[in-house]
Homo-oligomer: A and B are copies of this chain.
């Protein structure tokens, strides 16, 4: 007999029929002899509807009150699932964030979980009950309601699984697992049966929208095995877990792409110490996240300085850069929003050399120019022209042997 935490996302609880479907799945797990804690999101669309309501009410809704408002979304789904399970003859109890003792800091709208008491969850489980916890929400030390930010229910689920030392945390979503790349871009994309926490972190931050990054960090920290799977199918999905020897056989596990960045270049910058700080500090102070940075020496004491920022911040970043350029005597500032970042990810890279040159060769063969390159221990990313994104993803997917095996295609 195990203890399983199951998290169902917004589309899985999108209407009453779908909540009934969730109830049947939960009941099946319970009937199989496992203890079950269920963590729910709000019905899909609810959070957006509530935000629109708040924005109709006032221009800049107060964050504390926004959290009070948003928390109603999960409150609705946990009550509905609990009543359906009870009508099916199961003992079930819903718990809101504060009732499940999900203690967070006070940063409303993006609160971080500090601790999960879980004493009431444990008592209810010991009592043979199915426990249904509202995801995405908690309360701070003063008892104010807080929310964890977009996708926070994943983090709730993993944190509760960690607190209860659950055997698995199952994340039910509308995709059936983690793929080698986006199946919409590359038809040969293949579901991974296992992926390591670190790979998942790189994939999540690079654009695979399966799991919230923070939930993966949590899972890694507390070593919670996370099973990503579809609530509409019965097949196994992808296990996100500690890396093992077996995983390393695959040099690259996935190819990701991301069109959310834009590039800014300051041309003709005097090449002297401290110049990177002069340029990037005002950007950071404006709360803009810089991703990649490159500095090319051109000739003599002159250099070109390039960095990428989120596309949504391009206007602000450009304005700041122009001001700095004038101060430091740079020649010109250019902005380019038509770029994409393509990455290959794999824990196997740690023990294999030549991944980068193989990647560069594949890009060269397709005549794709790499504008910027950055690497980590388990990732190589490059910035290319946006129009080549899909071509690059497919080429890399084939190059690193990720295409779906022939026999599965027939």
Chain A facing B: main interface SS:
helix
| CB atoms of B72 and A75 under 8 A apart | yes
What's the nearest-Cβ distance from chain B to residue A108, in Å? 11
Assembled-state Cα–Cα distance A246/B54 (Å): 48
| CB atoms of B65 and A53 under 8 A apart | no
Size bin of chain A's contact surface: 35 or more
Query: Interface-forming stretch among A32-40, A83-91, A209-217, A263-271?
Result: A83-91
| CB atoms of A79 and B83 under 8 A apart | no
Return chain B residues, CB-CB under 8 Å to A111.
none
- Within the complex, which residue of B16, B60, B79, B87 is in contact with A87, where a contact is CB–CB below 8 Å? B60
Known A65-B94, A79-B65: A87·B59 in contact at CB below 8 Å: yes
What's the nearest-Cβ distance from chain B to residue A39, in Å? 15
Whether, in the assembled complex, A68 has its beta carbon less than 8 Å from a beta carbon of chain B, the answer is yes
Known A53-B16, A96-B145, A143-B99: A69·B59 in contact at CB below 8 Å: no
Q: Which residue of B lies closest to A63 (CB)?
A: B83
Return chain B residues, CB-CB under 8 Å to A106.
none
Q: Which residue of B lies closest to A58 (CB)?
A: B87
Return chain B residues, CB-CB under 8 Å to A66.
79, 83
Assembled-state Cα–Cα distance A72/B94 (Å): 14
The 6 nearest A-B residue pairs measured at CB: A58-B87, A69-B79, A72-B72, A68-B79, A65-B83, A65-B82
Interface residues, chain A, with chain B CB atoms under 8 Å away: 16, 19-20, 50, 53-54, 56-62, 64-66, 68-69, 71-72, 75-76, 78-80, 82-84, 86-87, 93-94, 96, 98-99, 143-145
